[in-house]
Amino acid sequence: MAARKPGRLFFANPGPTNIPDSVLRAMDRATIDFMAADFLEIYDQAVAGLKRLLLTNQEVFLYAATGHGAWEATLQNLFSPGDAILMPQVGYFSVAWGKIAQRFGLELIGPEHDWRHGVDIAALQATLAADSAHRIKAVCIVHNETSTGVALPLPEIRAALDATAHPALLLVDTISSFGSLEFRMDDWGIDAVVGGSQKGLMLPAGLAFTAVSEKALAAHRDARLPRFYFDWSLMMARRHRSFMGTVPTGPFYGMLEAIALIEAEGLEQVWRRHTRLAEATRRAVSVWSGNEGVSFYCADRARRSNSVTAVLMPEGHDAELVRKIAYDRFNVSLGGGLDPLGGKLFRIGHMGDLNEPMLLGTLGVVELALAAAHAPFARGGVQAAIDYLGHDDHSIR
Ligand code: PLP
C-alpha cells in the first residue's frame, strides 16, 4: 500500500468535485422508508430547491444514475427511431452523447465544428434555416464541454432558433455548468436540461436529472423509443414523480444541505466566485504561455470556461507526466486529456466548493510539476493569479 501523504489531497479534477464537510455530515443517516412522511418532506424541499437553482418552474425527473443515464433518459423520452437531431460534436462529451443517440437510431446532422472554438453558431443557424421541412427535432448542446474547457453562450443559440422560427426543441447538457456558470432554464427557453449531482452541486456521483418544459412534455407524449426505467410518464404516476424503483434517500439530505449552502452564498454570488477563480486561473495560464510554453486549449477568449481550464502542452511534452508528478509528489489531482486529447492537455477543475487558498495551492503545484516535467513555461503564473485576486476591482475579461 502506498504511504499516506500528509495533509489533504487537493482535488482539482473537473468533476467529481470536493464535497463540503457539512454535506458529508448531512448524508450520514440511517436508512429510512422513502415513503415515510419525514423523508417526503426532505425530498420535496430538495426538488423545490433544485428547481430554484435551475431557475425553472417546470417538471424535474430524477434518476439513480450519473450523467450518462440522464443523457439516455432524455433521448428515450423525447424521440422516435429515425428522428433527426442537430447535436454539434465539439469535444469528448458531445461525441459521447451523440454515440448514444446513434445507438438509438437517431440521425445526427449538422456541420463540423472546431473543438478549440466550440459550436459555430452562424453555421448552426444556417443549418436550421435550410431545414424548411423541419426535420430537425432538437438542437442538443453541451453548455460547458468539460473535455475542452469551452463554454457556449446559450442565449445566442436560443436566438438562432428564434431567428429561423424553427420549432426544434433546445436540449442542454449542464453537467459541468450547473451551479457554477450562469444558467437560466426558463428565461433562456430551454426545453430539456440534463444535469448531474457530482460537480457544481457538490454531491457524490449517482444522482442525475432532466428538467423538462411543457413543449418537451408534449413531444414526449409522441416519442416512441422503447423505455421503462427512465420513462417520464411512468414516473409522473408515482408519488416522487421520479425513480422507477427504490429512491436513494441519503443523497437528498446532502442535496438539501448543498442547496442551503449555495443559497446562503447566493446563486449569483456563486457564479461570480466561479468567474473570479476561473479568471485567476486564466491569468496564471497566460503567464505560463510565455517562452512558447503551455497554452489554452480553448482558442476563443470569450468562451473560456469558468468551471474548467484545459491547458495544452507544447508539442513533444506529455500532459500525463505533469499530472503524475502533481499527484504522486504533491498530492494534487488534476484532470487528464480525454480521447483523442489524451496526453496533450491537462485540466484544472475550478468548480464547486472552492476558495482562493485551494486554487492557489493547485496553481502552485502546477508550476512545480511543469518545472519537474521539464515542460516549457514562463514563471510567475501564480503571482499573476495572486495579483488578480488581491485586486478589489474584479472587472472580468
Ligand atoms: N456531460 C458532461 C459535460 C460531462 O462533463 C460529463 C462527465 O464529466 C458527462 C456528460 C457524463 O456524466 P457522467 O460521467 O456523470 O456519466
Average pLDDT of 194-198? 98
Closest atom of ligand 1 relative to the 147 alpha carbon: 5
pLDDT at 394 over 90: no
Average pLDDT of 177-201? 98
- Residue 144 CA to ligand 1 center (angstroms) comes to 10
Considering the chain, what is the average pLDDT of its residues? 97
- Residue 275 CA to ligand 1 center (angstroms) comes to 21
- Residue 195 CA to ligand 1 center (angstroms) comes to 9
Helix (H) or strand (E) holding 139: strand 136-142
Alpha helix ranges (H) inside 104-208:
121-130, 154-163
Is residue 66 in contact with ligand 1, taking CB distance under 6 Å? yes
Please report where in the chains the cell 482562493 appears, as a residue. Answer: 356
Share of the chain above pLDDT 90, in %: 96
Look up the pTM and report it.
0.97
C-alpha to C-alpha distances, 242 to 173, 178, 187, 341, nearest whole angstrom: 19, 20, 24, 36
The CB-side HSE value for 13 (13 A sphere, CA atoms) comes to 17
pLDDT of residue 338: 98
By most ligand atoms within 8 Å of CB, the mutation choice from 90, 146, 180, 307 for ligand 1 is 146
- Domains, the chain, in order of start with CATH, read 21-263 (3.40.640.10), 266-395 (3.90.1150.10)
Reported confidence tier of residue 397, pLDDT bands at 50, 70, 90: very low
More confident residue, 348 or 397: 348
Is the distance from CB of 121 to CB of 133 less than 8 angstroms?
no
pLDDT of residue 2: 72
By most ligand atoms within 8 Å of CB, the mutation choice from 150, 176, 230 for ligand 1 is 176
Give nearest CA residue, ligand 1 atom 12: 67
By most ligand atoms within 8 Å of CB, the mutation choice from 175, 307, 347 for ligand 1 is 175
- Residue 93 CA to ligand 1 center (angstroms) comes to 7
pLDDT digit string, tens, across residues 288-338: 999 999 999 999 999 999 999 999 999 999 999 999 999 999 999 999 999
In angstroms, rounded to a whole number, what is the distance separating the alpha carbons of residues 384 and 285?
9
- Residue 173 CA to ligand 1 center (angstroms) comes to 9
- Residue 209 CA to ligand 1 center (angstroms) comes to 12
Task: Round to the nearest angstrom and report the end-to-end CA distance of the chain.
Answer: 46
Provide CB contacts within 8 A for 92, sequence distance 6+: 145, 146, 147, 148, 338, 339, 341
Instruction: State the DSSP string of 199-248.
Output: STT---S-EEEEEE-HHHHHHHHH--S--STT-HHHHHTSTTSS-SS---
Average pLDDT of 273-294? 98
Is residue 257 in contact with ligand 1, taking CB distance under 6 Å? no
pLDDT digit string, tens, across residues 244-260: 999 999 999 999 999 99
pLDDT at 116 over 70: yes
Reported confidence tier of residue 393, pLDDT bands at 50, 70, 90: low
Average pLDDT of 114-141? 98
Average pLDDT of 342-357? 98
Count the neighbouring beta carbons within 10 Å of the beta carbon of residue 308.
31
Cβ-based burial of 86 (10 A; exposed 0-12, middle 13-18, buried ≥19): buried
Helix (H) or strand (E) holding 151: strand 150-151
**Secondary structure letter of residue 304 according to DSSP:** B
- Residue 68 CA to ligand 1 center (angstroms) comes to 7
- Residue 50 CA to ligand 1 center (angstroms) comes to 18
In angstroms, rounded to a whole number, what is the distance separating the alpha carbons of residues 335 and 308?
9
Alpha helix ranges (H) inside the chain:
21-26, 37-54, 67-78, 92-103, 121-130, 154-163, 214-222, 232-236, 250-265, 267-288, 319-330, 356-372, 381-390
Is residue 146 in contact with ligand 1, taking CB distance under 6 Å? yes
- Residue 174 CA to ligand 1 center (angstroms) comes to 9
pLDDT at 31 over 50: yes
pLDDT of residue 395: 54
Is residue 68 in contact with ligand 1, taking CB distance under 6 Å? yes
pLDDT at 1 over 80: no
Reported confidence tier of residue 391, pLDDT bands at 50, 70, 90: confident
pLDDT digit string, tens, across residues 362-385: 999 999 999 999 999 999 999 999
Closest atom of ligand 1 relative to the 208 alpha carbon: 15
Share of the chain above pLDDT 70, in %: 98
pLDDT of residue 3: 77
pLDDT at 124 over 80: yes
